Amino acid sequence: MHNARAYSAGAELWLRIALVLAGSLLMYAGAKFSIEIGPVPITGQTLALPIVVALLGTRLGLAAVVAYLAEGALGLPVFARGGGPGYLIGPTAGYLWSMPFAAVAIGVAFDRGWGRDPLRRFVAIFAGTALVIAAGALWLAAFTGSARAAFAMGVVPFLIGDLAKCAIASAVPPQGLARLAARFRL
């Protein structure tokens, strides 16, 4: 009996690690869906982030986003334009650094019932996305020297696309993988 529990705990740990890595891979895929438009590219990261949180839950979703940032900081080319520590201090760093906070905000909203229906999920995801866009634009303002220029380059081009990404992501119910695992007794 004791060995079965130890095996179960070990298997659960490896499953969690695999889920975190899969979530970071989804963030990578979102980053690589990139359209160059200026200092800040349009990417699929703001679509991937709430989906990762919805599928993995708050804790594992946050771990996946942090793992993604760590992978990029270590030089893996997981960001839209590559990888390395310079990306975490460059013009787009505000977007990247805000992603863990957005993951927590979205996850906590889901945990408090905002994930029960698509409209409330949309609102929660929109709030997290707005946090990413606002933090990114604030950081970008330090590079442009102008809040107006940062708004024009770091917010305006993303408004319609991010609304669409919020709508798409709101179709994924929170804890989707947990429900699937329970259904198949994984």
Would you state the pLDDT for residue 184? 44
Contact call for residues 88 and 110 (beta carbons, < 8 A): no
User: Which of the four pLDDT bands, split at 50, 70 and 90, describes residue 8?
Assistant: confident
Domain limits for position 27? 2-184
% pLDDT > 90, the chain: 81
End-to-end CA distance of the chain: 19
Would you state the pLDDT for residue 173? 83
Contacts 24+ apart (CB under 8 A), 72-81: 72/96, 78/24, 78/27, 78/28, 78/31, 79/31, 80/31, 80/32, 80/34, 80/41, 80/43, 80/45, 81/34, 81/41
For 157, the token pair is 């081009």
Mean pLDDT lowest among 27-31, 129-133, 169-173: 169-173
Would you state the pLDDT for residue 12? 82
The predicted model gives 93-117 an average pLDDT of: 95
- State yes or no: pLDDT of 83 exceeds 70: yes
Contact call for residues 140 and 40 (beta carbons, < 8 A): yes
Q: For residue 4, how many other CB atoms are within 10 A of its CB?
A: 8
Would you state the pLDDT for residue 186? 43
User: Which of the four pLDDT bands, split at 50, 70 and 90, describes residue 10?
Assistant: confident
Where residue 178 sits, what CATH number does that domain have? 1.10.1760.20
For 6, the token pair is 């130890």
The model's pLDDT over 47-64, given as tens digits with 9 standing for 90+, comes to: 999 999 999 999 999 999
When divided into structural domains, the chain yields a total of 1
User: Which of the four pLDDT bands, split at 50, 70 and 90, describes residue 185?
Assistant: very low
Mean pLDDT lowest among 9-13, 23-27, 91-95, 108-112: 9-13
Would you state the pLDDT for residue 7? 55
Mean pLDDT lowest among 4-13, 80-89, 118-127: 4-13
